[in-house]
Amino acid sequence: MNSQTIPLRAIKVIGHRNPDTDSICSAIAYSNLKNILDPEHPCKPCRAGLLNRETEFVLDYFKVPLPQLYTDVSPHIRDVDIRPAKGVDGETSLRRAWMTMRDQELDTLCIVDGEQNLKGVITVKDVATANMDGMDPHTLETARTSYENLLDILDGTVLVGDVTGKTVEGRIIIGSGSAEQIEKSISPGDVVVVSNRAESQLAALEMDAGCIIVCASSRVSRTMQMLAEEKGCIVISTQNSTYVTGQMLSQAAPIRHYMTTGKLLTFTLHTPVEEATRVMATVRFRYFPVLDDDGKYIGVVSRRNLLNLHKKQLILVDHNEKSQAAEGIEQAEVLEIIDHHRIGSMETDGPVYFRNVPVGCTCTIVYQMYRENDVEISPTMAGLMLSAILSDTLMFRSPTCTPTDERAARKLAELAGVELEKYADEMFSHGGDVSGKTAAEVFNGDYKIFTSGEVRFGVGQGSYMTEKNRKAAQALVRPYLPEARGKQGLDYIFYMFTDVRNSSTELLMAGPGAEELVEKTFGVEVREGMAVLPGVVSRKKQMIPRLINVIKQEQE
């Protein structure tokens, strides 16, 4: 399934923070499998962090697009039912705006230009206030009201003149008195409301009225029309009475004259629901405009919409601990977990499909699921799963590697059409290159946080084929460890610089008591903040269990 055709609320298949190659490739491969098996419930691969260079190489090698980034899976405005209320033109009359609000059961309209840029908002309260203030005879003039609006609200017919592009340039005068009284009250350009009395119509024309509105569908003589045309006066006929017409005229004013334009409270698709709820609680508005990624108006949301939010539906791959999951995981709905690590602290609201197999790589499990469901594996999917297995097992050198992993990798290499050993060397070489990278980028390449009782600690790992790349990475990461520990509020931080060819690890550490903990755990001497651990290449099997065991002993 093409990423462009996957709906916004597709199930998100996502790995852990600071994703490694297995985390990314298992998300892509498992999404593909799910879309083949169950196209009615589309899935899309996602990532919870930035990619390391090894994974970038893999995706580039097999020409696979980057999964969408989701560092926070808590509900956002895009996860609620946004009401697609159409934006209105600022020239819309007050009456037409009120009718729209009434028909659509909305108390707020959003005013937009031709490009759907939000220009302002108007509420039913604004319309009511404008109507109550409509006694001012200069209202239409001040608001630069178009004659098209007059025709619209009066359901009028133009008898003389052309109203296109013209605006009212005078007061509103109700010509209900004698001709003499009318003549005294009219100024040039005024809009005069008259009945069927010819003398009233003539008096308005003689005083250079800008427009005469003849009520009750009264007759206007040919002579009067010719005189109006000569004086450049617009003549409009309406079936409404003089009283109704006088009441309605102020409602022709354009809503742009009354709309709120400053400090508009708007939300974007990426606004967290929690933040939107706080904002809504501080004001009395009922509906709030929503803008898309390009800043264009797309609809409105209300407090009621937030109550009906759709939690993001997730499938977790390559992790099952809350501390390793994307932010906001507790506010999302976890549907499945596919993993090969120890069972950690993840809690779900209901039962989920949980597949946890003691193999060296999540993609080995995904490969098994392809085989179990008799789904053909494309060369691209085979290449991705192969890459993940090679990465997680350090090309079968890791003690976490099982015969199942190696058999899967060799079969996948055939399907992908690559020479396994040659491809692995190239992949690890690219992954170990730290030139041009910052300390934080190298540090976060493959990093996870763990908890044991009251102790929280982080363990990162980089795998290197050459000593040059390994030493360059150490030079960047060593001074950064204390800073990272402080930012994350951890007791300890450890970083494994693994020599793939010689199956050993140089371990850097930070935190009070970290050196003593390592010496006790591995029976080695720490020199200048580093411990050499021959034969230790697996974080999952050789590092984490032994550290946790010693930490627990110290807590007893």
How do residues 100-158 score in pLDDT, each as one tens digit? 999 999 999 999 999 999 999 999 989 988 887 667 888 899 999 999 999 999 999 99
In a domain, 348, yes or no: yes
Percent of the chain residues topping a pLDDT of 90: 73
Q: What is the mean pLDDT of residues 384-395?
A: 96
Q: Establish if 134 belongs to a structural domain.
A: no
**Is residue 446 predicted with pLDDT exceeding 90?**
no
Of 164-178, 316-330, 373-387, the range with the lowest mean pLDDT is: 164-178
User: Looking at the domain assignment, is residue 290 inside a domain?
Assistant: no
Same-domain status, 476 and 424: no
5 has pLDDT over 50: no
- Please report which confidence band the pLDDT of residue 177 belongs to, taking 50, 70 and 90 as the band edges: low
Instruction: Tell me what pLDDT residue 193 has.
Output: 93
Verify that 415 and 487 share a domain, yes or no.
no
Q: Judge contact between 326 and 70, C-beta under 8 A.
A: yes
Q: Total structural domains in the chain?
A: 3
310-333 b/e with 16+ CB inside 10 Å = b? ebbbbbbbbbbbebbbbebbebbe
Residues 481, 427 share a domain: no
CATH code, domain with 344: 3.90.1640.10
User: What confidence score (pLDDT) does residue 8 get?
Assistant: 56
Residues 414 and 479 in one domain: no
Q: Does residue 156 belong to any structural domain of this protein?
A: yes
Look up residue 547 and give its amino acid.
L
Joined together, the tokens standing for residue 225 give: 């029309």
Tell me: pLDDT of 6 over 60: no
Residue that terminates a domain, selected from 432, 459, 480? 432
> At which of 215, 234, 252 does a domain end?
252
Mean of pLDDT values over 358-384: 98
What is the reported pTM? 0.67
How confident is residue 2, by pLDDT bands cut at 50, 70 and 90? very low
Task: Flag whether 292 is in a domain.
Answer: no
CB atoms within 10 A of CB 281: 8
Give residue for tokens 């319309």: 127
Q: Is residue 204 part of a domain?
A: yes
In eight-state DSSP terms, residue 66 is P
Domain holding 184, by residue range, is 146-252
- Residues 427, 444, single domain; the answer is no
Q: What sign does the CA torsion over 8, 14, 18, 24 have?
A: negative
| 319, 427: one domain | yes
Q: Which helix (H) or strand (E) holds 327?
A: none
**CATH number assigned to the domain comprising residue 462:** 3.10.310.20
Q: Is the pLDDT of residue 550 over 50?
A: yes
Least confidently predicted of 21-35, 376-390, 404-418, 434-448: 434-448
State mean pLDDT over 271-275.
Answer: 91
Same domain membership, residue 525 and residue 486: yes
User: Does residue 257 fall inside a structural domain?
Assistant: no
Does residue 370 lie in a domain region? yes
Statement to judge: residues 459 and 520 lie in one domain? yes
Two tokens at 302? 């209300």
Computed from CA positions of residues 518, 519, 522, 528, in that sequence, does the dihedral angle turn out positive or negative?
positive
Residues 240 and 318 in one domain: no
